Amino acid sequence: MGAVTRFFRSLPGIIAALALTTAAAHAQATLKVGDSAPTIKVAKWVKGTPVTTLEPGKVYVVEFWATWCGPCRESIPHLTEMAKKYQGKVTFTGVSISEHDEKYLDKVAKFVQDMGPKMDYNVAADDKSDGGSMATNWMSAAGQNGIPTAFVIGKDQKIAWIGHPMDDRFPTVLDQVIAGTFDAKAAAATREKAEAEQAEIEQQMAKPMKRAQQGDYKGALTEVDKIIADKPDLEPRLGGVKYNLLLKTDETAAYAYARKLADGPYKDNPMALNNMAWGIVENKGDALKTPDYDTAITLADKAATITKNEDPTVLDTLAYAHFKKGNVDKAIEIQEKAIALLDKMPDADADMKKELNDHLALFKAKK
């Protein structure tokens, strides 16, 4: 099992995310599932075999990423696995976009070289004409403003699917496209429905977002509560926002709500549980006045159970929570398991290895 991404989004970060004008982008999208794929025009092919044309009868994946994008770095080994799995059936190409460095071509080339076998498929870098040919004609045209994003192009040279390369549906889509059983119309309808729902959420979140930006966290929380009360099915999407607003206004209530999420909307979401737990134990800048380590242990333990105690980053969070609670022996025991799991992963990130080992050293020093 791949490592779960661990991060703790501060309230400003969440508000910034909510401010993204994806609704407007989708409304202006001119490239949709079922449309003919645009041409591929790049500044430089960095690795693999250049794909100059999308040939009929062949299946392609064109994925967009950037050297500065953390989630992109995590998805790259997965794409390599997919490229190997579908070798001879699907051509995978990663295109770097939105690079800000003037010498970005050198930067992309070095990044790819450093990734080595972890990035084993065709790689190209977008040009800089009018924001980038690929970024403009593919991503912007399709109303996509987040990376990594993958486009699946079917044998008819039309776009069959657009989504995150780590999406569980991705392999199924490829299998069906290869077999010729993929229902592009149904996929397009599903995507349009999801985009409409997202646009509605963003419209409703305008009020709480504005209040939070003004520092009125209680007012923002009231507005979010109104939205959830009106549409309870949105709580899985907005629970994290409410939790972070509560941390700004009432930490005790925030921890209680986190436990409620763990038993309800997030009961099958290890990433969300792990993120909340890590935010408590890390407590950057002592942002929390009364960090509740018991709640952190509960959240991390649930995440560990869901991932069958096979995700080292989840175990690291659980170990750290026990350490902060004073359960040093337990922390060491769990951390050693986390490191053993990480050592067995051929594509394990070196920085993550160092972090987990540093934590173990800290635990042992305390003992």
pLDDT confidence tier of residue 187, bands split at 50, 70 and 90: confident
Asked, for residue 22, whether it belongs to a domain, the answer is no
Measure the CA–CA gap between 218 and 215, rounded to whole angstroms. 9
209 and 60 in a single domain? The answer is: no
Name the residue with tokens 């649930």. Answer: 302
Question: Could you tell me if 156 and 253 lie in one domain?
Answer: no
Q: Quick check: 188 and 26 in contact, CB under 8 A?
A: no
Location of structure tokens 């939790």: 243
pTM of the predicted structure, to 2 decimals:
0.64
Structure tokens at 96: 């770097």
- Which residue intervals of the chain are DSSP H helices? 11-19, 22-27, 70-85, 104-115, 133-134, 169-179, 184-204, 206-213, 217-230, 235-249, 251-263, 270-282, 293-306, 312-325, 328-343, 350-366
pLDDT digit string (tens) for 60-112?
999 999 999 888 888 898 999 999 999 999 999 999 999 888 889 999 999 99
pLDDT of residue 284: 78
Point out the domain boundary residue: 197, 225, 243: 197
* Average pLDDT over all residues of the chain: 88
Instruction: Tell me the CA end-to-end span of the chain in Å, nearest whole number.
Output: 31
* pLDDT tens-place string over residues 242-279: 999 999 999 999 999 999 999 999 998 898 899 999 99
Nearest to 195 by CA among 22, 363, 38: 22
Whether 138 is covered by a domain: the verdict is: yes
Q: Round to whole Å and give the CA distance between 182 and 160.
A: 8
Domain membership flag for residue 15: no
Backbone phi, psi, residue 61, to 5° = -125, 125
Does residue 142 sit within a domain? yes
Residue 142: which domain range?
A: 31-197
Tell me if 261 is assigned to some domain.
yes
Tens of pLDDT, residues 280-319: 998 877 889 999 999 999 999 999 999 999 999 999 999 9
pLDDT at residue 300 in the model? 97
**Pair (80, 62) in one structural domain:** yes
C-alpha span between 276 and 268 (Å, rounded): 14
Q: Which of 172, 197, 222 is the last residue of a domain?
A: 197
Q: Is residue 136 part of a domain?
A: yes
The residue-averaged pLDDT of 315-324 equals 97
CATH (domain of 264): 1.25.40.10
Task: Judge if 183 and 212 occupy the same domain.
Answer: no
Query: Does residue 315 share a domain with residue 278?
Result: yes
Instruction: Judge if 297 and 215 occupy the same domain.
Output: yes
Strand-strand pairing, 149-153 and 159-163:
antiparallel
Q: Is residue 142 located within the same domain as residue 248? A: no
Q: Are residues 251 and 166 in the same domain?
A: no
Give residue 21's pLDDT band: very low, low, confident or very high (50, 70, 90): very low
Share of the chain above pLDDT 70, in %: 91
Q: For residue 96, what are the β-bridge partners?
A: 65, 125
Range 311-327 burial, b when 16+ CB lie within 10 A, else e = bbbbbbbbbbbbbbbeb
The DSSP bridge partners found for residue 94 are: 63, 123
φ and ψ at 223, to 5 degrees?
Answer: -65, -40
Residue 7 in domain: no
116-132 average pLDDT score: 90
Polymer length in residues for the chain: 367
Please give the tally of structural domains in the chain.
2
Residues 61 and 158 in one domain: yes
Distance CA 174, CA 87 (A): 12
**Residue of 183, 128, 181, 174 whose CA lies nearest to 153:** 174
DSSP calls for 203-240: HHTHHHHHHHHTT-HHHHHHHHHHHHHH-GGGHHHHHH
Q: Are residues 120 and 180 in the same domain?
A: yes
**Residue 253, amino acid:** A
Report the distance separating Cα 66 and Cα 120, nearest Å. 16
